[in-house]
A and B are shown apart, each in its own frame.
Chain A
Amino acid sequence: MTSQIEHYKYDIVVIGAGGAGLRAAVEAREAGLSVAIVCKSLFGKAHTVMAEGGAAASMGNVNEKDNWMVHFRDTMRGGKFLNHYRMAELHAKEAPDRIWELETWGALFDRTQEGKISQRNFGGHEYPRLAHVGDRTGLELIRTMQQRIVALQQKDGRDTGDAEKMIKVFAEVTITEILKENGKVAGAYGYRRENGQEILFEAPAVVIATGGVGKTFKITSNSWEGTGDGHALALKAGANLVDMEFLQFHPTGMVWPLSVKGILVTESVRGEGGILTNSLGERFMFKYIPDVFKDKYADNEAEADRWYVDQDNNRRPPELLPRDEVARAINSEVKAGRGTEHGGVFLDVSKRLSAEVIKKRLPSMWHQFYELAGVDITKEAMEVGPTCHYVMGGVEVEPDTAAAVGVDGLFAAGEVAGGMHGSNRLGGNSLTDLLVFGRRAGKGAAEYVKSHGANPVTDETLATAAEKIAAPFISAGGENAYTLHTDLQEVTHNLVGIIRTGDELSEAITKIAELRKRSADISVTGDRIFNPGFHLVFDLDNMLLVAESTAKSALAREESRGGHTRDDFPGMNSTWRQVNHISSFDGEKVNIKTQPLPVLPKELFDLFDVHELEKYMTPQEIAKGGSN
């Protein structure tokens, strides 16, 4: 078999070609290193394309009071203070530069009257902060990054005669394993989806930028690619996952027709003035403002409406609370029998904006509802409900370098990395997260390679990796990967979903273990030529591991916070805020341990009103006033 393997040598392999992966690749190339970009889809199709609302950066173009400190505070509040402070700090400080840089690569954001980049309101952000292009900001970001890669390749072509000498994109390749030698990363192994051809990348550094895990769940806004590949690859390589219990259920996914259930309805609809009502016509969000946010959100319609014209003298409408709050509120309304015919609530922007403005500011939403649901959002309300959207948990990394803790040569950035968003991500923080930490991962990996040099892969390591790819064709166990995937989605949806209990989580853990056992008997029909049944085998293995990690972390955390709600432990608990859950894999099962959350240093502690911190921290923490 070895003689038929395609074999490449690079300085750095980037797994994933979304915003984080491409930004890492650009940085590594600019540091003079050679980079392979490996992705499961075609180039330019990554899930980043689905991001709609915008990229949060405190440029202060619309409200000059904005700055990195305000953004940092908003991010920490949104995450209920479980964020890794250093990641939130770096993100808030560097986001504006990352946006402006895109403009130098050809991006065309919407403009203010003065000709600057326009910024829009979003849930949890104190000022208008999201750079945007209508409601297709993710497309602009991915295309700009894709074209930046092409620009670098064209330059290499002019300089060396070979455009792919320093950066090559390997599209439609699945990575099945991160290879290690001498305890350090040595490369990655996988196969071409087109024909099953096995492929070896020798490289001393690997950047994981594989995005999320949504396909583990039944109702999700994620594409098929969101199968937690990077989370699982990292676990198997000996890295840790942090706080996998925190999943963001975006409050507004489509609920009807059935086939589009889960597809995202951008938060910009609410940012532009959309209101949520139940089947009785009540604007119900006023009932769901939690104590910690009472001073920032309007408790009556008149004030909420005034905010759209005068933000300095009015509190924000509660539709713009952080996503976890809105998702839980919608869930409660539907459970109480005040839902719509299809089990959602109404979201209406038609009464606030003219048809022309809606089509201009929310063009893809108009299109999506008109084409897929036959609903004209300029005239009627949309029906919406929560959908699994984003995983806050992920690979435990060193904030400054994006290096994975515990594995030399491994880096992670973007959704697959944990820590930045704490227990709940604010809308718009994802796109700038990709850019800020994608760049840092590329830089971190480049510095690592320069100081460590090559780490060749041995034949034994290679043979073990190759065996795993052949296995599903040899097995005669008779299990069907599609059926197992559906079964897993039922388990996660019913037992590890938006509202959880200890008993259900225990049951989920047992059921996931049974599914894992059955997955050993998967048989594949057909051959290796573009065979989706074969591809799903590897995706499923990753999803099972991620689901186990999430269920176990969720069982361990006996409180409700952000994207983790326990019916048996309602409410936040300041003691639990001091703890991260670390998942590791022993080859058989996922193990969870607790680890102290890094303590906010004094200079960041002092950015907050101490009375606000008292809502989240223990009296001892408040008395200490930060770490130094």
Chain B
Amino acid sequence: MARTLKLRIWRGNDKDGGLQDVTVEANNGEVVLDIIHRVQATQMGDLAVRWNCKAGKCGSCSMEINGKPRLACMTQVSAYGEDEVITITPLRAFPVIKDLVTDLSFNYKKAMEVRAYEHPADLAPGEARMQQIDVERSQEFRKCIECFLCQDTCHVIRDHEENKKSFAGPRFFIRLAELDMHPLDTLRNRKQSAQEEHGLGMCNITKCCTEVCPEHIRITDNAIIPMKERVVDVKYDPLRWLGSVIRKREGIL
């Protein structure tokens, strides 16, 4: 049950480029990535696209399909109407390398800026005891497949290159929340560092990141808002502020 599909694929490099019209056959049940591969194998041998697992598990084939940040491997062709033209463009928040491939180094740089997990010094391997309910909060954030769709859609950086320097983005807010809620992590200043070093305050909770997350991680509700609330608690509550000064704690709870 093949159908003929009309596509517009963005082709070009960091200097210039534009949409090219392509007509290609599609079979029942195929996803957009299948179609891109068919175009590659039959019409545009050098069409650049990243992909790996083709099962929604690795987060490589991130792109924008009809303007929406999506994984091409999880986007069914049948979701689009018979006569609809499907427009495929690279992630807008990051510099293009070629065609659908963008330079994601921003994200790896930000990953490097989040201080790593620190295990309790006196807890030997195998001795950790944690309850399932206590690990589940962080486990939700560890489902992240680093597709960076949340980073792409976040309007703080999507159209504001100047904010990139001081803003880590939703992917790294959930990393910070994960560490903050990790039952064993010994660094206690995660929320404060989210606010002061990673630009948590610039997020104004429009939930765009949550909407595009293919893993359905509740980025805003479960990571960003709780961290913001706790930051507010401590920063602006005079008694707790005093307490933290008197006890000379490394950070806030």
Contacts and interface: CB of A to CB of B under 8 A. Distances in A.
Contact of A527 (B46, B52, B111, B143): B46
A368 B48 CA distance: 26
A115 B48 contact: no
Nearest to B71: A371
Given A50-B53, A139-B143, A371 B74 contact: yes
Given A151-B116, A257-B28, A530-B98, A42 B142 contact: no
Contact of B58 (A49, A114, A264, A480): A49
Give the bracket for the number of chain B residues in contact with chain A.
35 or more
Contacts of B138: 108
A130 to B, nearest CB: 16
B47 interface: yes
B52 A103 contact: no
B97 A258 contact: no
Contacts of A163: 112
Interface in B17-58: 27-31, 34, 40-41, 45-58
A259 B34 contact: yes
Contact of B30 (A101, A259, A263, A534): A259
Contact of A223 (B41, B54, B108): B54
Q: In the complex, which range does the number of interface residues on chain A fall in?
A: 35 or more
Contacts of A136: 57, 143
B161 to A, nearest CB: 21
Interface in B117-151: 117, 119, 123, 125-126, 128-132, 135, 138-139, 142-146
Contact of A529 (B13, B45, B76): B13
Contact of A482 (B40, B50, B119, B130): B40
Interface string A404-445: 000000000000000000000000000000000000000000
Contacts of B97: 194, 529-530
A525 B42 CA distance: 12
B40 A258 contact: no
B60 interface: yes
A525 B46 contact: yes
Contacts of B30: 257-259
A527 B128 CA distance: 53
A106 B130 CA distance: 13
Contacts of A223: 51-54, 58
Interface in B41-94: 41, 45-60, 74, 76
A532 interface: yes
Interface string B173-215: 0000001001001000000000000000000000000000000
Contacts of A151: 116-117
Contacts of B55: 50, 260, 263-264, 368, 372
B231 interface: no
A260 B77 CA distance: 13
B58 A530 contact: no
A110 interface: yes
B74 A111 contact: no
A42 B46 contact: no
A526 interface: yes
8 contacts: A45-B146, A97-B125, A104-B123, A116-B129, A259-B30, A372-B56, A530-B97, A532-B40
Given A258-B27, A533-B45, 11 more contacts: A41-B50, A44-B146, A45-B52, A106-B116, A109-B135, A111-B132, A143-B144, A147-B116, A151-B117, A532-B40, A532-B45
Interface of A: 41-45, 47, 49-50, 59, 96-97, 100-101, 103-106, 108-111, 114-116, 118, 133-134, 136, 139-140, 143, 147-148, 150-151, 153-154, 157, 163, 194, 223-225, 256-260, 263-264, 364, 367-368, 371-373, 480, 482-483, 486, 524-527, 529-534
